[in-house]
């Protein structure tokens, strides 16, 4: 486990951290700019020294105020990927990677060949940084950090300086990295799209405080966190499996614990695990099964909770059986439908709302299936359906 319990006064920012994170997978630190996310991981790295508290990664204590322990940066065994790649301009891609390898500590568990293959660097090894795209430079920076054989990988908004096409280029590589290498990753971002695609564990940071921490799907599904996530970006996260493709209509059917969803076609084989983010604003509610409507994703459930919001809105949490789905509707609609906890409803989600920004490869173990996913991803009531 990773135990972070410390404080540091940094000008107007009073950083107070108290979280325990898993020792594998991606833990995302999410919050608005200036919330203290980068300062938090800089304290873990040893760049910022806490005023008090303790930082422990696995069995190693990085910092302990009471005992006087404060490991220097080079002794902490971390890899750090910054917003900008910070490559050595006089070295080729291979030279930059070798620099990371030369600074490795301990047993070499991350090999050269695996890093080059996973990050797609083979055809770039002889190039210089000035001859790379922004996305390619970041992939090299990630590779260099991995070859240091870190016990912990820190990534401080590694996609923030990239435009949308370059972000789309790099995201699948980071997704694969998280599956292939068994090391914990602390990933800083203010993009909920990145967080829901990459993270297993979510920490919300606000005004220097770690105000929420837990499994991604659980934190995302809680209405009280909507103001921090963003009213129009908050919603639900579902772990699904690819069921089948309809090439005639360019649609893919996904299966999850409480039913099925149809989404625009994704280039994954049947059986591949997929994570879907459904924004609350893209969910509509009906009291009876909708007929003669264009929306194909219709899931029955019961109202679990209604949370009034500022202005005309209400956040409705619907229990689908084993999962919940959130809907953002007007308070007028809520009253007109007579919604209250326990009311049976049908939820509706437009397929076109579940685009490539909402659907990504999942790192959870797949259910038994002979199909293999490709390495790079390009309730109560009647059974749920996806017409």
Residues of the chain with pLDDT > 90: what percent? 63
> Are the C-beta atoms of 251 and 262 separated by less than 8 Å?
yes
Residues 43 and 182 in one domain: yes
Distance CA 310, CA 352 (A): 28
**What is the residue whose two structure tokens read 């917003």?**
83
Selected residue with higher pLDDT from 212 and 231: 212
Selected residue with higher pLDDT from 309 and 356: 309
Over residues 256-282, the mean pLDDT reads 92
* pLDDT band, residue 300 (cuts 50/70/90): very high
Say which CATH number the domain at 317 has.
Answer: 2.40.50.100
Which 3 state secondary structure label does DSSP give 57?
strand
Query: Which pLDDT does position 362 carry in this prediction?
Result: 57
Residues 261 and 187 in one domain: no
Tokens (6 digits) for 30: 């999410």
Query: Which pLDDT does position 228 carry in this prediction?
Result: 82
Query: Which pLDDT does position 176 carry in this prediction?
Result: 81
Residues 134 and 254 in one domain: no
Residues 254 and 339 in one domain: yes
Closest by alpha carbon to 3, among 304, 210, 208, 205? 210
Domain that holds residue 6: 2-221
Residues 176 and 296 in one domain: no
Residues of the chain with pLDDT > 70: what percent? 91
Angle ∠(305,311,314) on CA atoms, nearest 5: 15
Quote the pTM value.
Answer: 0.82
Query: Which pLDDT does position 360 carry in this prediction?
Result: 67
Q: Is the pLDDT of residue 178 over 90?
A: no
Distance CA 387, CA 11 (A): 56
Distance CA 164, CA 166 (A): 6
Query: Which pLDDT does position 231 carry in this prediction?
Result: 66
Query: Which pLDDT does position 373 carry in this prediction?
Result: 30
Query: Which pLDDT does position 367 carry in this prediction?
Result: 38
Over residues 295-309, the mean pLDDT reads 94
The dihedral through the CA atoms of 41, 72, 77, 171 has a sign that is: positive
Over residues 337-346, the mean pLDDT reads 97
Q: Is the pLDDT of residue 150 over 50?
A: yes
Per-chain mean pLDDT for the chain: 87
Residue 373 lies in a domain: no
Q: Is the pLDDT of residue 295 over 90?
A: yes
Query: Which pLDDT does position 383 carry in this prediction?
Result: 36
Over residues 338-351, the mean pLDDT reads 97
Selected residue with higher pLDDT from 61 and 222: 61
Residues 180 and 264 in one domain: no
* Residue 181 main-chain phi, psi, to 5 deg: -110, 125
Residues 136 and 271 in one domain: no
* pLDDT band, residue 175 (cuts 50/70/90): confident
- Could you tell me how far CA 367 lies from the centroid of its own chain? 21
Domains in the chain, number: 2
Query: Which pLDDT does position 387 carry in this prediction?
Result: 42
Which 3 state secondary structure label does DSSP give 318?
strand
Residue 383 lies in a domain: no
Q: Which helix (H) or strand (E) holds 245?
A: strand 235-246
Residues 214 and 145 in one domain: yes
Query: Which pLDDT does position 268 carry in this prediction?
Result: 87
Q: Is the pLDDT of residue 296 over 60?
A: yes
Query: Which pLDDT does position 366 carry in this prediction?
Result: 39
Over residues 216-224, the mean pLDDT reads 85
Which 3 state secondary structure label does DSSP give 106?
coil
Query: Which pLDDT does position 361 carry in this prediction?
Result: 61
DSSP 168-232: HHHHHHHHHHHHHS-S-EEEEES-HHHHHHH-SEEEEEETTEEEEEEEHHHHHH-GGGHHHH-TT
Angle ∠(183,187,192) on CA atoms, nearest 5: 135
Tens of pLDDT, residue by residue over 157-172, are 999 888 888 888 888 8
Q: Where does a domain end: 199, 221, 243?
A: 221
* pLDDT band, residue 111 (cuts 50/70/90): confident
Q: Where does a domain end: 161, 195, 221?
A: 221
Residues 202 and 247 in one domain: no
Say which CATH number the domain at 58 has.
Answer: 3.40.50.300
């Amino acid at each position: 486990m990773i135990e972070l319990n410390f404080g540091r006064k940094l000008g107007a920012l009073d950083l107070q951290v108290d979280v325990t994170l898993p020792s594998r997978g991606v833990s995302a630190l999410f919050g608005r700019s200036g919330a203290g996310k980068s300062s938090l991981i800089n304290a873990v790295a040893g760049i910022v020294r806490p005023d008090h508290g303790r930082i422990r990664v696995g069995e190693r204590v990085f910092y302990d105020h009471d005992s006087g322990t404060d490991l220097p940066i080079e002794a902490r065994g971390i890899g750090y990927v910054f917003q900008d790649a910070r490559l050595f301009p006089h070295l080729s891609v291979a030279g930059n990677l070798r620099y990371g390898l030369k600074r490795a500590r301990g047993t070499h568990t991350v090999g050269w060949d695996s890093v080059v293959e996973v990050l797609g660097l083979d055809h770039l090894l002889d190039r210089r940084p000035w001859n790379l795209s922004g996305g390619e430079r970041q992939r090299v920076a990630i590779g260099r950090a991995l070859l240091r054989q870190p016990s912990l990988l820190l990534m401080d908004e590694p996609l923030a300086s990239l435009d949308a096409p370059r972000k789309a280029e790099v995201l699948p590589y980071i997704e694969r990295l998280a599956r292939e290498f068994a090391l914990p990753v602390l990933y800083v971002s203010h993009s909920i799209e990145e967080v829901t695609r990459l993270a297993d564990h979510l920490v919300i940071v606000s005004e220097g405080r770690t105000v929420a921490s837990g499994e991604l799907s659980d934190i995302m599904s809680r209405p009280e966190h909507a103001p921090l996530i963003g009213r129009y970006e908050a919603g639900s996260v579902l772990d699904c499996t690819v069921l089948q493709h309809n090439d005639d209509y360019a649609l893919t059917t996904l299966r999850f614990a409480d039913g099925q969803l149809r989404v625009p076609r994704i280039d994954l084989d049947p059986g591949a695990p997929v994570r879907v983010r459904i924004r609350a604003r893209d969910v509509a509610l009906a009291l009876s099964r909708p007929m003669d409507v264009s929306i194909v994703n219709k899931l029955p459930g019961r109202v679990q909770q209604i949370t009034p919001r500022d202005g005309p809105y209400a956040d409705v949490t619907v229990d689908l059986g084993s999962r919940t789905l959130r809907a953002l509707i007007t308070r007028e609609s809520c009253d007109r439908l007579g919604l209250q906890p326990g009311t049976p409803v049908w939820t509706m989600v437009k397929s076109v709302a579940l685009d490539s920004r909402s659907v990504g490869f999942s790192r959870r173990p797949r259910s038994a299936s002979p199909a293999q996913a490709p390495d790079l991803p390009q309730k109560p009531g009647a059974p749920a359906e996806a017409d």
